[in-house]
Amino acid sequence: MSEYENHPFDRLSPDLLIDAVESLGFVSDGRLLALNSYENRVYQIGIEEKTPMIVKFYRPERWSREQILEEHAFCFDLLEQELPVVAPWVSADGASLNSYDGFSFALYERRGGHAPELDNLDNLFILGRLMGRIHGIGAARPFKYRPQLDSQAFGWDSFKLISDGFMPDGLRLAYDSLALDILKKIDQILADYGPIKRIRVHGDCHSGNILWRDDNPHFVDFDDARMAPAIQDLWMLLSGDRFEQTAQMAEIVEGYSEFYDFDLRELQLIEVMRTLRIMHHSAWIAKRWSDPAFPRAFSWFNSPRYWSDHILELREQLAALNEPPIALMR
């Protein structure tokens, strides 16, 4: 038996997908377009005499029903305050999470747009204002069921998975030594920082999850929403060298602070969040390697060259963790 057989998404045939959407009262015209999503399965589906819709089938056993509904509720909280988020479609009986033949799925309105130009300071000011509004609402109450971003789940667990099951023998010693140094440094930084204020955040706020059109951004895909420091949604908007990132963060914080106070101490956490994301991203692909969509999409993964480059990237991150954080004028 192949290691890729009997994956849950194997049953997600075009007929099942269309039947699931039509079970909600829509009539599909049969047009389907698979979108670039691997954690879940996301499709554009044609609807007769209407604009196509987006349907997302959640990965079985990743999130509980309660966790998915918390994601949706966060989107509805933001939408209620007229924030530009793409929230799930809601049926006449108030349901946003649907089930069909063992799959949980949600429908979304299709929105067009392109990734924002993050080297444009005016765009960053606009995004900062919106993130300030989002975080003001995110801080109003915590998630009850969704997890928090911490060094255990994103760092230590990722290290163990990679070291035990994926790192080539010839590189394991170097990887283990480096990863342990990094994780100890991160835990030291977090201990020195003290209590972290965690709020509901988007969690995966990179440019691919922001649709920009006519100077108006829309935020999509809250699938990674969790409890985390506010900086988690801001650092991914940065690019370039230290000087450029400082100017960019200043613009973001200026817009952000119009709607929600930003604790400048969180700048100390930028490289911590970046490093944890790098470690977690490799572990995420590794954890999903039995899903045939992943070897197809990430064919470069799990080769000696990949792991050598990963170790080099982590060495650069260890150096960054030992540098002073970027600083803004109060």
End residue of a domain, out of 67, 84, 109: 109
Residue 236 has pLDDT above 90, yes or no: yes
pLDDT in tens, 141-197: 999 999 999 999 999 999 999 999 999 999 999 999 999 999 999 999 999 999 999
Residue 114 lies in a domain: no
The C-alpha atoms of residue 26 and residue 33 are separated, in whole angstroms, by 17
Kindly provide the residue ranges of all beta strands, DSSP E only, lying in the chain, ordered along the sequence: 28-34, 41-47, 50-57, 98-100, 103-109, 199-201, 210-213, 216-219, 226-228
Q: Are 265 and 139 in contact (CB under 8 A)?
A: no
In this structure, what token pair is assigned to residue 152? Answer: 């255990």
Is 143 found in the same domain as 77? Answer: no
- Could you give the 3-state DSSP secondary structure of residue 174? helix
Strands, sheet with 50-57, edge to edge from the N-terminal-most edge strand: 28-34, 41-47, 50-57, 103-109, 98-100
Q: Give me the mean pLDDT over the 275-298 stretch.
A: 95
Lookup: tokens for 300: 């470069």
Is the model's pLDDT at 79 over the cut of 60? yes
327 assigned to some structural domain: no
Task: Say if residue 86 is in the same domain as residue 174.
Answer: no
How far lies 219's CA from each of 112, 201, 222, in Å?
11, 12, 8
In this structure, are 145 and 83 located in the same domain?
no
Residue 2, pLDDT > 50, answer no
* Catalytic site residue from 15, 29, 164, 204: 204
Domain that holds residue 231: 121-321
Residue 330 has pLDDT above 70, yes or no: no
Q: For the chain, what is the domain count?
A: 2
Query: Are 94 and 150 part of one and the same domain?
Result: no
Is the pLDDT at 3 greater than 50? The verdict is no
Contact 218, 198 (CB under 8 A): no
What Rg do the C-alpha atoms of the chain give, in angstroms?
A: 21
SS3 assignment, position 114: strand
> Residue 246: pLDDT above 90?
yes
Q: Which of 77, 150, 221, 291 is catalytic?
A: 221
* CATH for 147: 1.10.510.10
Same domain, 97 and 210: no
The whole-number average pLDDT for the span 58-65 is: 95
Task: Report d(CA 145, CA 150) in Å as an integer.
Answer: 15
Report the C-alpha gap between 76 and 293 in whole angstroms: 31
Confidence (pLDDT) at 215: 81
Number of other residues whose CB lies within 10 A of the CB of residue 116: 19
Active-site residue 221, yes or no? yes
Q: Is the pLDDT of residue 107 over 80?
A: yes
Work out the mean pLDDT of the chain and round it to a whole number.
95
| pLDDT (mean) for 92-108 | 96
Count of beta carbons in the 10 Å neighbourhood of residue 59: 18
Quick one: pLDDT band at residue 37, thresholds 50, 70, 90?
A: confident
